[in-house]
């Protein structure tokens, strides 16, 4: 094999290694699902592949992922940008709930694809309940993974609409994996019978029209939630 072919083979292998690594990792928001009004509520944000027990140091995060924006959505729909602080392994911060109902922490970041023809969008969610009120806020991100407060059913939304046949992967505290698909209503039930943290990740690839102005051929999206079951 000549030098040119070896170089091409090397670049091809490296490309697929990078793509595989990007798809395996995702942004995750860690926080308790219950909070008290008027009390500081902490959270952490990781870039990780929990199936491989791999948490990436912030300095090694893919592309410009560390430049994500974190938003807090209140039960009444108020949207506030939060400013978490970076550590070596994660970002951290806190907020103080002022209303009863469901708060959401949300991230939606499309990483700079560089010369790749596929863009990778990382969506992360955390739902926090305060008191007995309900949420009136709409979900605006391209891909969303939402859970009912007292339910083991998840809903996957794509651009605001239920996503049928959406792929959902759930890693349980017992290290068992559930591979699920949503129904016509974009929903699927999850076995949450074990105590501990469940890592739920929905993925969806959108193929773009040929000669799309962006120059891209596809957008790969993921949406995550880390759910603690006590």
pLDDT of amino acid 136: 67
- 3-state SS of the chain: helix, strand, coil percent to 5? 15, 45, 40
Q: Is 138 exposed, middle or buried (0-12, 13-18, 19+ CB in 10 A)?
A: exposed
pLDDT in tens, 120-159: 999 999 999 999 877 767 788 999 999 877 778 999 999 9
Torsion of CA 84, 85, 89, 95, to 10 degrees: -40
Residue 3's pLDDT band, with cuts at 50, 70 and 90, is very low
Q: What is the average pLDDT value for the chain, to the nearest integer?
A: 88
* DSSP code, position 209: P
pLDDT > 70: what percent of the chain?
Answer: 90
Provide the terminal-to-terminal Cα distance of the chain, rounded to the nearest Å. Answer: 58
pLDDT in tens, 82-116: 999 999 999 999 999 999 999 999 999 999 999 99
Are 207 and 188 in contact, with CB atoms under 8 Å apart?
A: no
pLDDT > 90: what percent of the chain?
Answer: 79
Say whether pLDDT at 17 is over 60. no
Domain 3-229 has CATH 2.60.40.10: yes
From residue 101, alpha-carbon distances to 29, 41, 81, 93, 148 in Å are: 19, 14, 19, 21, 12
φ, ψ for residue 51, nearest 5 deg:
-65, -30
């Amino acid at each position: 094999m000549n030098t040119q072919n070896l170089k091409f083979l090397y670049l091809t292998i490296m490309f697929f290694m990078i793509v595989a690594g990007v798809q395996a990792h995702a942004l995750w928001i860690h926080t308790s699902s219950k909070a008290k009004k008027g009390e500081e509520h902490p959270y952490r944000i990781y870039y990780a592949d929990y199936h491989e027990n791999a948490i990436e140091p912030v300095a090694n995060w893919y592309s410009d992922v560390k430049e994500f924006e974190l938003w807090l959505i209140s039960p009444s729909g108020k949207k506030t940008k939060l400013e978490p602080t970076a550590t070596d392994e994660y970002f951290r911060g806190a907020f103080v709930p002022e209303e009863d109902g469901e708060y959401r922490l949300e991230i939606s970041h499309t990483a700079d694809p560089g010369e790749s023809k596929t863009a990778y969008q990382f969506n992360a969610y955390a739902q926090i309940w305060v008191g007995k009120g309900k949420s009136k806020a709409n979900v605006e991100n391209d891909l969303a993974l939402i859970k009912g407060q007292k339910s083991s059913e998840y809903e996957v939304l794509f651009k605001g609409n239920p996503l049928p046949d959406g792929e959902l992967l759930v890693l349980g505290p017992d290290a068992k994996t559930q591979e699920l698909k949503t129904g016509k209503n974009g929903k699927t039930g999850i076995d949450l019978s074990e105590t501990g943290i469940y890592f739920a990740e929905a993925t969806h690839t959108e193929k773009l029209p040929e000669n799309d102005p962006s120059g891209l051929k596809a957008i790969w999206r993921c949406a995550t939630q880390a759910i603690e079951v006590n």
